[in-house]
Amino acid sequence: MIQNRFLTGAALVALLGSLGLAPAQAQTDAPAAAPTPEAASGRVMSAVQTIPGMPPVVDPSNIYSEAAAGKVRADVASDPARIYVPNLRSNDVYVIDPATLKVVDRFPVGKSPQHIVPSWDMRTLWATNNAEGTTQGSLTPIDAHTGKPGAPVPVDDPYNMYFTPDGKSAIVVAEARRRLDFRDPHTMELQGSVDAPKCPGINHAGFSIDGRYAIFTCEFGGMMAKVDTVNRKLLGYLKLSKGGMPQDILTAPNGKTFYVADMHADGVFILDGDTFTETGFIPTGVGTHGLYPSRDAKFMYVANRGSHKVHGPRHSKAGSVSVIEFATNQVVKTWPIPGGGSPDMGNVSADGKKLWLSGRFDDVTYAIDTDTGAMTAIPVGAEPHGLTVWPLPGRYSVGHTGITR
């Protein structure tokens, strides 16, 4: 099956080398792997004490340094360039060729697909089908090299999914259960769970620089939940000052500051992750929803869905994208959706030139020029949600729609 493919021999050594992990006693008859980018440039690995097995932090001031434009792994670069769009109400995935902006494939998945999530090793894309209102949830594996789906894996309520930065566990976000299920990242066999009873609508997460904790949003509780990812333990809750509706969360390049999109507060909260305190707020637009870093890690793209409602409306005139500069925490650009729209979830292209977002209530996908804000809307299925862009730069993925490091 797709999710059980493993690398061996020289290929494994090369992959570990690209991650900055030199395997002890590794032997191969093939020529030595090329030095990692940081070694070739003479950069010294940082002293950040990461959890065991996690690839080292190359630049402590920028955890996205290895996910910059041009840093696509060789095995990933050979995958076809595609945009995978899960459609919540039509129960399928549309596949867009980013070069032609045309839909080139379409296939059914499970009920209520929410997100397309790249695996930690970046070889499988998982459609999280949480089968809203039922117990028939599943994960559909998509081969990243062929773009074709495999047999679904039954999993309880997989609204979203993340991976611990050491690659040892997938974290299935069981939103309706107020629970995080730690699973084997290949077979999805259950390893253990963390209950978060005071976190209704638990859904999105950001990881600390060292991988020791993650902060999750509680969409229907106006608060955040902090989780010890090593000991699998709930550390506590933080109530946001405006009591809003937190959606996506993004770890800042420094790995310690966290940004939280809030759909009711119409902006982005700033948190100190280590102390778990709220430190600021940035107004953006109506229905603030998705957060994505630029490939040079200087800016954050903020999708403002244009409404405070969970469902609709179509063609909201308030739909827009804000651009925040990390260095100043200021909005430097705002791009309205022409004719109105509902920008939701997505990612940035490998070269950093396009921001791809689903138009949740308009049944389209937006391709947005990151220099000018010019947009193209591409019709897709019914209620597109957490799309991903492929291939992506980076050594490994921590999940969601492709947050890589």
Q: CB-based burial of residue 271 (10 Å sphere; 0-12 exposed, 13-18 middle, 19+ buried)?
A: buried
76 touches 67 (CB < 8 A): no
> If you ran DSSP here, which 8-state letter would residue 322 be given?
E
Give the per-residue pLDDT at 3.
40
Q: How far apart are CA 404 and CA 395, in angstroms?
A: 7
Rg of the chain's alpha carbons, rounded to an integer? 19
Q: Is the peptide bond before 391 cis (omega within 30 degrees of 0)?
A: yes
Q: How far apart are CA 170 and CA 187, in angstroms?
A: 10
Give the per-residue pLDDT at 19.
53
Q: How far apart are CA 43 and CA 83, in angstroms?
A: 33
Q: Is the dihedral of CA 342, 343, 344, 345 positive or negative?
A: positive
Q: How far apart are CA 187 and CA 172, in angstroms?
A: 13
Which CATH architecture describes the domain 74-390?
7 Propeller (2.130)
Token duo for residue 211: 């991988």
Phi, psi for 17 (deg, rounded to 5): -65, -40
* Residue 278: C-alpha distances to residues 229, 238, 272, 323 (Å): 21, 8, 6, 21
Q: How far apart are CA 390 and CA 19, in angstroms?
A: 19
Long-range contacts (CB closer than 8 Å, 24 or more residues apart) made by 229-234: 229/51, 229/164, 229/165, 229/169, 229/171, 230/51, 232/182, 232/192, 232/193, 232/194, 233/194, 234/194, 234/195, 234/196
| Number of other residues whose CB lies within 10 A of the CB of residue 342 | 30
Give the per-residue pLDDT at 47.
83
pLDDT along the chain (405 residues), means of 10: 40 47 35 37 66 97 98 98 98 98 98 98 98 88 97 97 98 97 98 98 98 98 98 98 94 98 98 98 98 98 97 95 98 98 98 98 98 98 98 98 98
Q: How far apart are CA 396 and CA 18, in angstroms?
A: 10
Helix (H) or strand (E) holding 77: helix 74-77
Q: In what order do the strands lie in the sheet with 288-293?
A: 288-293, 299-304, 320-325, 330-336
- 241 phi-psi bin (left φ>0, alpha ψ -120 to 50, beta other): alpha
> If you ran DSSP here, which 8-state letter would residue 62 be given?
-
Give the per-residue pLDDT at 330.
98
Task: Kindly list the domain boundaries of the chain, sorted by start residue.
Answer: 74-390
Cα-Cα-Cα-Cα dihedral of 117, 337, 64, 37, to 10°? 90
- Distant-in-sequence, close-in-space partners of 284: CB < 8 Å, separation ≥ 6: 266, 267, 268, 302, 304, 322, 324, 331, 334
Task: Tell me if residue 16 falls in helix, strand or coil.
Answer: helix
3-state secondary structure 207-233: ECCCCCEEEEEECCCCEEEEEECCCCE
pTM score of the predicted model: 0.89
Q: In what order do the strands lie in the sheet with 82-87?
A: 102-108, 92-97, 82-87, 388-390
Q: Whose structure tokens read 């021999």? A: 9
Token duo for residue 69: 């434009």
Q: How far apart are CA 376 and CA 98, in angstroms?
A: 11
Give the rounded distance of the alpha carbon of 200 from its chain centre: 20
